[in-house]
Amino acid sequence: GEDVEQSLFLSVREGDSSVINCTYTDSSSTYLYWYKQEPGAGLQLLTYIFSNMDMKQDQRLTVLLNKKDKHLSLRIADTQTGDSAIYFCAERDQTGANNLFFGTGTRLTVIP
Amino acid sequence: DAGITQSPRHKVTETGTPVTLRCHQTENHRYMYWYRQDPGHGLRLIHYSYGVKDTDKGEVSDGYSVSRSKTEDFLLTLESATSSQTSVYFCAIMGGGTDTQYFGPGTRLTVL
DSSP assignment string, chain B = --SEEEE-SEEEE-TT--EEEEEEESS--S-EEEEEEETTTEEEEEEEEEETTEEEE-TT-TTEEEEEEETTEEEEEESS--GGG-EEEEEEEEETTTTEEEE---EEEEE-
Provide the pLDDT confidence category of residue A2 given band limits of 50, 70 and 90: low
CB contact under 8 A, A98 and B99: yes
pLDDT 10s digits, A84-105: 999 999 998 777 677 899 999 9
- Compute the half-sphere exposure of residue A100: CA atoms within 13 Å on the CB side of its CA: 33
**What gap in Å lies between CA A95 and CA A12, rounded to an integer?**
38
Which member of A1, A41, A99 has the closest CB to residue B48? Answer: A99
pLDDT value at B21 more than 90: yes
- Of A90-94, B29-33, B84-88, the range with the lowest mean pLDDT is A90-94
* pLDDT over 70 (residue B32): yes
Chain B CB contacts of A35 below 8 Å: 103
Residue A97: which of B48, B100, B105 has the nearest Cβ?
Answer: B48
Answer yes or no: do A98 and B40 touch at CB < 8 A.
no
Mean pLDDT of A68-79: 94
pLDDT in the model for residue A3: 83
Residue A1 has a pLDDT of 52
3-state helix, strand, coil in chain A (%, to 5): 5, 55, 45
pLDDT at B112 (0 to 100) = 96
Question: Are A99 and B100 within 8 A, CB to CB?
Answer: no
Q: Given pLDDT bands bounded at 50, 70 and 90, which one contains residue A40?
A: confident
Choice between B22 and A1, residue whose per-residue pLDDT is larger? B22
Please judge whether A102 and B48 are an interchain contact, meaning their C-beta atoms are less than 8 angstroms apart: no
Nearest CB to B105 within list A1, A41, A99 = A41
Please state the rounded mean pLDDT for residues B44-72. 95
Mutate one of B41, B103, B107, B108 to test the A interface: name it (highest A CB count within 10 A): B103
pLDDT band at residue B2, thresholds of 50, 70 and 90?
low
